Amino acid sequence: MHKIEVPYIDQSVKYPTGCESVSAVMLLKYLGYEITVDEFIKNCLECRDMEMRDGKLYGPDPNEYFCGSPYDEDSFGIYAKGLLKALEKAAGKDFQFTDESGTPIQKLLEKYIDQGMPVVFWACINMRKEIPGPEWKLLDSGDTFCWTSNEHCMLLVGYDEEKYYFNDPYDNNGVIGYERDLVEKRHAAQHSMAIGTVTGTDIKQNFIKTLFEEKRNVMEIADMQPGKLLAEHFRK
């Protein structure tokens, strides 16, 4: 088994539709940021309310905004493009994030998990089957948008031959493994959305310089996973 140890946060008590925000904050805490879920929602996450007009439901584009409120059980969520902007706002210049939607899971494992870096990952609540709908009119364009219900966001933290492992904030699930085939189906049903964490060249150079200033052994640096090293560095 290959698994990354990441601080766990449960969404069930206070954030019934806040799985994306909770997963983002788990990642940020792993990277060394002192931030709460409430602070992330207030200062980083862009939300817009749903509206009823003449008996028709109107709402924002989840690629841009959280649809409703993470504190409201009747709200919806936010997609990778929108959450990525919130993560960038929270992290500043220390880390950068990339939209990995559509990237095969095996590639995510190689590029991130094997390097000690968790991945923000969309699938379905408890791997239930996706349900098409509801639909609403987009507030800005008037186009019809169809939500896929049972949408859920978690933090991918590991894998073995049979399962993928997640920090799953839903209903205090904790660190849980789901069968690979089932995860792949539910991930595809939610547009194969994912967000990876990357660092710029200047950040890497400054980081390596700091390691040598700390007089780390060269072999120790070579053996440790880059993601773990970076997270350890920024937690100091």
Please state the pTM of the whole predicted model: 0.87
Taking residues 39-49, report their average pLDDT.
98
pLDDT in tens, 113-136: 999 999 999 999 999 999 999 999
**More confident: 122 or 234:** 122
Of the pLDDT bands very low, low, confident and very high (cuts 50, 70, 90), residue 26 is: very high
- For 2-198, give the CATH class: alpha beta
Residue 92 has pLDDT above 80, yes or no: yes
All CATH 3.90.70.10 domain ranges in the chain, comma separated: 2-198
| Crossing angle between the packed helical segments 19-30 and 80-91, to the nearest 10 degrees | 40
pLDDT value, residue 94:
86
